[in-house]
Structure 1
Amino acid sequence: MGKKRAGKLLVTLGLVSTLLVGMTACSGGDSGGKTAESSDSFNQTGLPIVKEPITLNVLTVRWGNMGDTFTKNTWLQNLEKETNIKINWQVMSSNDWGEQKSIMLASGTLPDIVFGDIAFSDSDIVNNLSLFQPLDDYIDKYMPNLKAAMEESPELKKLSTFPDGKMYSLPARLPSRPVTQNQPVINKAWLDRLGLQVPGTIDELHQVLKAFKENDPNGNGKKDEIPYSGSGDISMDLLNPFGITDLNGTGMMIKDGKPVYYPTSEEYKEAIKWAHQLFSEGLIDQELFTQDNTMLTAKQQNPDVSLVGFTHQWTPDAVFGKWKDEYVTIPTISGPDGKRYQVGDPNGLSYRRNELLITTTCKYPEAAARWADQFYTNEASIQNFWGAIDTVIKKNDDGTYALMNPPAGTSADAWYWESSVRDFGPKYVSPSFEKNIILDPSNGDGLKLTIDKLGKDYVTTPFPNVMYTAEEFQELPTLTTDIDTYVRTTRAQWITKGGIDEQWDAYIKKLNEMGLERLVTIRTDAYERYNSVK
């Protein structure tokens, strides 16, 4: 082991050792071996949750160096007073969490609660079930807010039920989320300069891209325009008009109500041939499959003139810097069958699982469950997604809620992350409550909901975020490493160089040799289990 690597590991071991000692020292306070339920201190309903104060250790992971400013959220601070449960937040950085997580799982020494789906993946949980409490009984006895949410939105339970039929983690439904994922974005300034209309079909898009390439729409006298650009993954959105959509990146989609592996379909083949035609005419960025995000951003935010004509994005204002006002989101492009297909989820991109786990070392699981249930009200959820009322959110006399403007020099999104747990943790906003939330339609979350209307009617039902067994998790990496790499490599080759007709049969044969049938069986079995949850 090299010196730098050994040093980094020693530092990591030291950090985790310190964390584990802290957890052992104060987890649950002095319980005397009693659970909260068996103690006279525990209240099964109402507040406080416990008559005598206890402490729960709650571990959460934050992106990069976000820190712990969210703990100053007034709602969270009031919750400690109202429940009599003090929270000892253990805030970890995603930068080095991978190594810390492995050591923690291997040691079996965990905090009372793990908060947020970035901490442990499905496979982490499935392969370490003995470390986590099954939550079904706690939900039934102590979590009326979550029970009501699951009755209103059954997707919450379907998403969070593990292969053995139990719930080991709690779900979330985020507020004011769109239905669409990335949508088509075009340089409207270029269209106007060339007297062109917004394209609505693949043939019209083809003609617009040719005009972008040939007519100097950025006006600098150079042929430096890039009609279409994106990353290799975003290039998949180019295939949408042919009915190819893949929200969760599994290679699977739902067709006529059944799961199918689309990289072997005729629709996929025709989509690749169309993309190759565009590439061969210089209408697609020639570095599409080789550029990294730094290279792409340099093109999107070129200092002198705008360079990109068409792409797919969450919102145009998020990527184009000083040129953002030149770009608009347009309706989903229709394909050769005259239909439009948009990546997204008709249920909304709102649902999450693994947002809270109660470990088997927690001395007060009943109190922890009741504490978690406090997050599942509408007001609690919006305050844990954006920030506290009277700090980030203004509650109006008419029952509506509006977001305040961020401090000068701070973006709205950064402010929300500083002021709340944001995407992470349990929460539930009822679909009927969302009409009471007022968002600015010109930026951020409000802008996405505005442009969402352009594509939401065309969103296809995705292959869902299914759950796998421990045995399936053992098989999947071997299968997907070979198969996914081969599919990505051939897709890039066929788009850039052509040859799909000549090589198709050999491609199908190779996939079958790699175990495609077994991969599809695993995905399909997981899909059927997912749909069997009631």
Structure 2
Amino acid sequence: MVKQGNKLSAKKLVAGFLAAVMVAGLVGCSSNNENTSAASDTSDFNKEGMPIVNEQVTLKVLTVRWGSMGDTFTQNQWLKDLEGKTNIKIEWEVMSSNDWGEQKSIMLASGTLPDVVLGNQSFSDSDIVNNLSYFRPIDDYIDQYMPNLKAAMEETPDMRKISTFPDGKVYSMPTRLPSRPQSSRQPVINKTWLDNLGLEVPETIDDLYNVLKAFKEQDPNGNGKPDEIPYIEINNDTISPFGIADLNNNFMLVKDGQPVYYPTSEEYKEGLKWENKLYAEGLLDKELFTQDDTMRSAKFQNPDAPIVGFTYQWTPDAVFGKWSDQYVTIPPIAGPDGNRYTIGNPIGMNLSRNELLITTSSKYPEVAARWADEFYTNEASIQNFWGAIGTVIQKNDDGTYSLMDPPTGTSADAWYWDQSLRDFGPKYVSPSFEEKIILSEKSGDGLKLQLDKLGSEFVTTPFPNVMYTAEEFEELPTLTTDIDGYVNTMRAQFISKGNIDEQWDAYVKQLNDMGLEKLIKIRTDAYGRYMKVE
């Protein structure tokens, strides 16, 4: 039976739980969160082989879905077959992200959790670190009952690195999604405009400047109006040619193996001067600092004529509507040092943690661990990312796997979300198996892999998705709110007004006065812990 998350009247319930918070805290502190099979009430558990239990066991599994996506994924044939194979019945509790914030607070306050929490949208690092007594460390379970996950962590060590908490234990299971690119967004330019003006694809920032200037001055869309927007937005990509490739939006880089806070670096300063030059000459959108996503989207799809010259995107077809055929993705723009840099991750944009948690409320932790380990095979992972074999995936006679066409009137991506866990939940597809997956090169996941070939060799190693202690989580919000806010405010001011050299020392001093040294120490300490994990 699938329970759809009801819209609880959280405001009424919170009051009732206030008294429970203290009690829950006391109970939580005394909870046994050590690895032990003694926690199980079942006496017929099988350490190997199938079924996992001889007498059926029910596990309550909670997951959170975007908006109103619902629970149709539970009818995925692989999931249904898994119940029969393992003799484990799953009682799904599917929550909507619209309501989850309040419901999560209530759940943590009461200490009443299901056996398993699936998907990293459910609990954040902070939620887990500040409520460790509710979640079981799974290191021993991995060694004893999870050969698939153990093998995955040995083949891809970063899976263990991202899953190891500050106390050295693993509490959450990671995922490695299949067929994901190494690079994130890449430069996209209106090729028709280039052809109309007799221009080549820009290679360097000097080339790009000249192209943008021509876009502004020479009416490349041919409508006789000065309506062209040479460059539409400012983001991390804009200064990536200066060696600043910030994947996780935390103002940190790894340079020569060391963590670097880049908003006080010379490279960032030069990047600001580049942005100010573009703004001062009208090459950046004049509504840069006031437009929202809806306004920007309307410009991408302007009905009368294409008006955007250059941007960074995942794929052109995703944003330009009927003008998509005019746009092409190009290699990264070379910076002042002659090098090209792409925001991304050399091991792929596909690793995350907190994809499955076993709670201390579960009476059957080793049963849950063996059940979860079934998700870490190649075939299980592709079926939980796209959909079941025979429904969404076709298994070919030559050992390859291809995706079927979605039903008429349904986009491929919407179909995958309907048929599978998609981005959420534990998965592992080995690099060698990925060669057997056949994707269309014209759209979606397959197109992105084709475009990735333009920039993947220039992807830099990002500052990793590190884990923080409870004490660090207590300090971080205040530090990042003040410091990040000031950095963003000053970036806008430097771009629009200039005077960067004149104001730079005062800018750096203000950051130091706000506690920048403490923030950098927290980030650096977390990085050091991450790198020590083997």
Q: TM-score range by the shorter chain?
A: over 0.9
The TM-score, its normalising length taken from structure 1, stands at 0.93
Deviates more, 1:166-175 or 1:495-504: 495-504
Is the Cα–Cα contact under 8 Å of residues 185 and 329 in structure 1 kept in the other structure? Answer: yes
How many residue pairs are counted as aligned between the two chains?
508
Aligned 1:107-126 pairs, distance under 5 A: 107-126=110-129
Is the Cα–Cα contact under 8 Å of residues 13 and 106 in structure 2 kept in the other structure? Answer: no
Q: Which amino acid aligns with 1:167?
A: V
Cα distance in 2 for residues equivalent to 1:11 and 1:328: 53
Cα distance in 1 for residues equivalent to 2:198 and 2:296: 27
Question: Of 42, 55, 60, which aligns to 1:57?
Answer: 60
Is the Cα–Cα contact under 8 Å of residues 187 and 308 in structure 1 kept in the other structure? Answer: yes
Q: Is 2:282 aligned against 1:313? A: no
Q: Is 2:117 aligned against 1:105? A: no
- Cα 1:287–1:397 shift into 2, 3 Å: same
Q: Which amino acid aligns with 2:367?
A: A
Shift of 1:497: 1.3
Q: Secondary structure at the match of 1:95?
A: helix
Q: Secondary structure at the match of 1:87?
A: strand
> Match of 1:75?
78
Shift of 1:9: 3.5
Q: Secondary structure at the match of 2:518?
A: helix
Is the Cα–Cα contact under 8 Å of residues 13 and 100 in structure 1 kept in the other structure? Answer: no
> Match of 2:229?
226
Q: Secondary structure at the match of 2:64?
A: strand
Cα distance in 2 for residues equivalent to 1:466 and 1:53: 39
Is the Cα–Cα contact under 8 Å of residues 35 and 364 in structure 1 kept in the other structure? Answer: no
Aligned 1:203-218 pairs, distance under 5 A: 203-218=206-221
Map Cα deviations across residues 274-325 of structure 1 (whole Å, 9 max, x no partner): 1100111110112222211111111111111111110011111111111111
> Match of 1:468?
468
Aligned 1:84-163 pairs, distance under 5 A: 84-163=87-166
Map Cα deviations across residues 329-373 of structure 1 (whole Å, 9 max, x no partner): 100000111110110001111111000000000011010000000
Structure 2 stretches of 5 or more lacking a match? Answer: 1-7, 18-36
Is the Cα–Cα contact under 8 Å of residues 41 and 52 in structure 1 kept in the other structure? Answer: yes
Q: Which amino acid aligns with 1:189?
A: T
Q: Secondary structure at the match of 1:171?
A: strand
Cα distance in 2 for residues equivalent to 1:173 and 1:322: 34
Is the Cα–Cα contact under 8 Å of residues 35 and 365 in structure 1 kept in the other structure? Answer: no
Is the Cα–Cα contact under 8 Å of residues 36 and 42 in structure 1 kept in the other structure? Answer: no
> Match of 2:5?
none
Is the Cα–Cα contact under 8 Å of residues 133 and 359 in structure 1 kept in the other structure? Answer: yes
Map Cα deviations across residues 223-266 of structure 1 (whole Å, 9 max, x no partner): 11100113x5xx22110111111001111101111111100000
Cα distance in 2 for residues equivalent to 1:278 and 1:236: 15
> Match of 1:21?
none
Q: Is 2:185 aligned against 1:193? A: no
Aligned 1:87-486 pairs, distance under 5 A: 87-230=90-233, 232=234, 235-486=235-486
- Cα 1:295–1:12 shift into 2, 3 Å: farther
> Match of 1:31?
none
Q: Is 2:527 aligned against 1:531? A: no
Is the Cα–Cα contact under 8 Å of residues 169 and 355 in structure 1 kept in the other structure? Answer: yes
Is the Cα–Cα contact under 8 Å of residues 202 and 208 in structure 2 kept in the other structure? Answer: yes
> Match of 2:23?
none
- Cα 1:128–1:300 shift into 2, 3 Å: same
Structure 1 stretches of 5 or more lacking a match? Answer: 1-6, 17-33
Q: Which amino acid aligns with 2:124?
A: S
Q: Which amino acid aligns with 2:315?
A: T
Q: Secondary structure at the match of 1:432?
A: helix
Q: Which amino acid aligns with 1:48?
A: P
Q: Secondary structure at the match of 1:332?
A: coil
Shift of 1:188: 1.0
Is the Cα–Cα contact under 8 Å of residues 42 and 364 in structure 2 kept in the other structure? Answer: no
Identity %: 71
Q: Which amino acid aligns with 1:195?
A: G
Q: Secondary structure at the match of 1:89?
A: strand
- Cα 1:415–1:269 shift into 2, 3 Å: same
- Cα 1:219–1:148 shift into 2, 3 Å: same
Map Cα deviations across residues 407-453 of structure 1 (whole Å, 9 max, x no partner): 11111111100010000000000001100000001100000000000
- Cα 1:135–1:361 shift into 2, 3 Å: same
Is the Cα–Cα contact under 8 Å of residues 479 and 515 in structure 2 kept in the other structure? Answer: yes
Deviates more, 1:95-104 or 1:474-483: 95-104
Deviates more, 1:373-382 or 1:299-308: 299-308
Q: Which amino acid aligns with 2:290?
A: T
Cα distance in 2 for residues equivalent to 1:103 and 1:332: 47
Pairwise CA RMSD: 1.6
Shift of 1:13: 6.2
Is the Cα–Cα contact under 8 Å of residues 388 and 419 in structure 1 kept in the other structure? Answer: yes
